[in-house]
Amino acid sequence: MRFLLPLLAALMLSTSAAGEAPSSPPAVFALVVANNQGFAPGRAVLQYADDDGAKYHEFFSMLTEPGDVVLLTGLDADTRRLFPALEPEVRAPSSENVAEAARVLSARIAEVKRAGREVDFYFVFAGHGDVDQGRGFLELSDRAFDAEDLQALLRQVDATRAHVILDSCNSFFVVSPRKAGGRRYATPEDMTRSLAQRLPAVGVLLSTSAEAEVYEWSELQSGVFSHVVRSGLMGAADADGDGRITYAELEAFASIAAREIPNPLFRPRLFALGPGRSPQATLVDLRAVRSAVTLRVDAVPPVRLTLRDAQGLRWADLNKEAGMPLALRLPPRVARGLEVERPGGPDTARAWTLGEVAPGATVELASFSLPRPTPPAARGVQDQLRSLFATPFGPESLAAFERARSAEPAPVYGISLAERERMRQLVETFSTIERDRRRTETILFGATLVSSLGTGAFLLAEGDRDSRVQGISALAVSLLFSGADLLQQLRREDPEALLREFHASQADAAVDPGLAVARVDYRLNRFLAQERYIRRRLETVGYIYMGAAALFLGIAEVRRANGWPGGEVREAERAALLAAVSGTSNLLRARYTGSATEHLVRQWNSDPELRRLPRVVVVPSSGGAVLAVGGVF
């Protein structure tokens, strides 16, 4: 009993009234699609996507009329035993069934709207996702479901507001496809702009992982992202206690819940933006639940709780701040026989059990039976996931989260571990190529400078007034172009410094790896722009010199035809030769500059893997130089 008293003091019925339900709440409809196994061969089979689908169905059934939630999934044997009532109504997550569900729901929604009611529609997906040429897609059982399919579905149902919840890899690009030839990553600004243009009445709640797997936890019998989201939707994310879960509240709730997980790969990361591009838009209004049991948690002490149903299935977790009242809405089936545990407290090894309870009832922990012992938690490779919900959530942590986020750089999405490794290879290759290229450019720059100065010197040596004028002009042009070229070379990106900075950012756990990759991506593309500018200028100068060579050669031929002395003819020919050397050097540099760097950055932007890049190297040797060309072309 001594373990019971502290928790009873923490979990008494709150005397403050919850927010009043809206007088005419919108009708709610939901389409839940969950798929353990994608259509693509070689994809790892998920274990709990069907469980997530069943739990989402149970949650949205609290908000809708019977039949207004459609679940498309394939229930495995374990899930059928846990949710036997769902088996007769569940259909496969195929494209045909998605289209049929959209048709049925759109007809029902149109009927409700004609009656003068607003409609909130929820599209929920749990399963595999991927990205192909910048376009994200979800994996149904028979084909990909991409951004165009999602957009067509949302327009077909034509709800007042739509809410998209995606628990899949690369889901960011399902809603905001990457343009061809654009960046590999995306930013919140990209999403905001995309939604504003295409789907202004749609809100999105997305897992931003770019990895090739969805993280599940056997202790949750759920995906980590979906479990955190459902915990928040049931009321744990209601920081201000008004009965409304906003997009901003749920994003902060999920981020704070996962803060203490040591491995960043296991932390669920969200992007949340409500209809009308408002993070303060309502995601779920719990004041309008149709059938639910309310569990009230007193405001005074902080408390961490885990909620399980009578079968031991874990439904929600929370860790509330002191002074924050909570009202959790639970499906009636879940509330019957509900078990409540207090992880990390003095009574960790105890669970409180609720008996029979009628739908619509409000309960507190005093209504539960005396605590019974709970078996010790299993340990294993997922042990660190027990740090979920280790940080309390409430108004203070929400405000701190918002302040910290406003002071940080905007996050980037769509960068996977494989892409970080490819970026490392790219930067290392880039550094090597640039080292070789700059050595070659030094030789070519020297040849250009010597030949340009030589052209001017030969003209000055001829002695006549016209030749001296031409020589002075050639020297001036040579020094101008060479000085501008040297200045541009000095201002270019230092590949060695870029490599050092990238390695340092990857070694620093405090630096967002995706942000580090995005910064390198930006600098590489800036370098590419510089290279293109230099190449265009070199090409222009090269053609000017080649024109000058043709002019000098023409002058030599005119002198020969007019019987000028052989020395003067040879002087003009030498000037033509030196101008031709200068022009050829500039043109070679222009062509060579584009081949390596453009191919390198283009490969990062488009190719799934790095091949051995083309390299042109001029190596000085005794009596001359060796030209080496290698790579995959």
Note the pLDDT tens digit of each residue in 381-433: 345 556 778 888 888 888 888 888 777 776 766 666 666 777 777 777 777 77
Residue 249 is assigned to a structural domain of this protein: yes
Q: How far apart are CA 221 and CA 73, in angstroms?
A: 16
> Rounded to two decimals, what is the model's pTM?
0.71
Higher pLDDT, residue 579 or 624: 579
Backbone angles phi, psi at 327, to 5 degrees: -130, 105
- Beta strand 144-146 with 135-139 is antiparallel
137: pLDDT confidence band, cut at 50, 70 and 90? Answer: confident
Mean pLDDT value of segment 556-582: 82
What is the enclosing helix (H) or strand (E) of 31? Answer: strand 27-35
User: Do residue 71 and residue 119 come from a single domain?
Assistant: yes
**Which candidate, 90, 30, 28, places its Cα nearest to that of 54?**
90
pLDDT score for 277: 84
The per-residue pLDDT for 74 is: 93
pLDDT at 198: 73
- Residue 608: pLDDT band by 50, 70, 90 thresholds? very low
Give the CATH number, domain containing residue 303. 3.40.50.1460
Asked if pLDDT for residue 118 goes beyond 90, the answer is yes
In the predicted model, what is the mean pLDDT of residues 85-105?
A: 94
What average pLDDT does range 586-590 have in this prediction?
Answer: 78
Which pair of tokens denotes residue 515? 């942000």
Task: Give the model's pLDDT for residue 373.
Answer: 61
Is residue 424 one of the residues assigned to a domain? yes
Looking at 150-164, 194-208, 374-388, which range is the least confident one? 374-388
Give domain status of residue 450, yes or no.
Answer: yes
Taking CA 254 as the corner, what is the angle to CA 252 and CA 257, rounded to the nearest 5 degrees?
105
Say yes or no to pLDDT of 350 above 80.
no
Same domain as 422, residue 399:
no
540 & 472 share domain: yes
CA distance 70 to 66: 10
**Domain co-membership, 474 together with 442:** yes
Percent of the chain with pLDDT over 90: 25
Tell me what pLDDT residue 372 has: 62
**Mind listing the pLDDT tens digit for each residue in 263-290?**
666 677 788 889 988 889 999 999 989 8
540 residue type, one letter: T
User: Predicted confidence band at 614 (pLDDT cuts at 50, 70, 90)?
Assistant: very low
Average pLDDT of the residues in 451-455: 67
Residue 614 within a domain: no
Q: Structure tokens of 284?
A: 């779920």
**Strand pairing report for 69-72 and 27-35:** parallel
**Is 628 part of any domain?**
no
- Chain segment 212-244, per-residue pLDDT in tens: 445 566 667 788 889 999 999 999 999 999 999
If you average pLDDT over residues 587-608, what whole number do you get? 65
- Structural domain range at position 594: 417-608
Domain count for the chain, please give it.
2
Q: Which residues, listed in sequence order, are joined to residue 328 by a DSSP beta bridge?
A: 295
Does residue 610 surpass a pLDDT of 50?
no
Mark whether 442 and 553 lie in a shared domain. Answer: yes
Q: Note the pLDDT tens digit of each residue in 153-184.
A: 999 999 999 999 998 876 666 765 554 444 55
> Does the structure show a pLDDT above 70 at 497?
yes
pLDDT for the residue 140: 92
Task: Answer yes or no: do 401 and 383 share one domain.
Answer: yes
Could you give the CA distance from residue 193 to residue 210 in angstroms, rounded to a whole number? 21
Categorize the per-residue pLDDT at 7 as very low, low, confident or very high, splitting at 50, 70 and 90. Answer: very low
Amino acid occupying residue 172: F
Enclosing H/E stretch for 319: strand 314-320
Of 242-246, 253-257, 315-319, 506-510, the poorest mean pLDDT is in: 506-510
Domain boundary among 372, 407, 442: 407
**One-character DSSP codes across 348-378:** TTEEEE-----TT-EE-GGGSEEEEE-PPPP
390 and 439 housed in the same domain: no
Residue 617 pLDDT greater than 50, yes or no = no
Q: What pLDDT shows up at residue 500?
A: 77
Q: Note whether 138 and 230 are same-domain residues.
A: yes
**Rounded to an integer, what distance in angstroms lies between the CA atom of residue 542 and that of residue 588?**
9
Residue 252 Rama label (left phi>0; alpha psi -120 to 50; beta): alpha
Region 355-366: what's the mean pLDDT?
83
Both 458 and 398 in one domain: the answer is: no
Check whether residue 400 and residue 433 sit in a common domain.
Answer: no
Does the residue 630 lie in any domain?
Answer: no
Q: CA-based diameter of the chain, in Å?
A: 123
Residues 397 and 333 in one domain: yes
* Residue 504 sits in the same domain as residue 440: yes
In a domain, 442, yes or no: yes
- Which of 407, 438, 455 is the last residue before a domain boundary? 407
- Average pLDDT of the chain is 77
Which backbone phi and psi does 381 adopt, to 5 degrees? -70, -20
> Last residue of some domain: 381, 407, 433?
407
Q: What pLDDT sits at residue 130?
A: 78
**CA nearest neighbour of 98 among 121, 125, 58:** 125
Distance CA 632, CA 611 (A): 7
User: What's residue 173's pLDDT?
Assistant: 66
Q: Which helix (H) or strand (E) holds 530?
A: helix 513-561
Q: Collect all residues with Cβ–Cβ distance below 8 Å to 561 and sequence separation of at least 6.
A: none
616 within a domain of the structure (yes/no): no
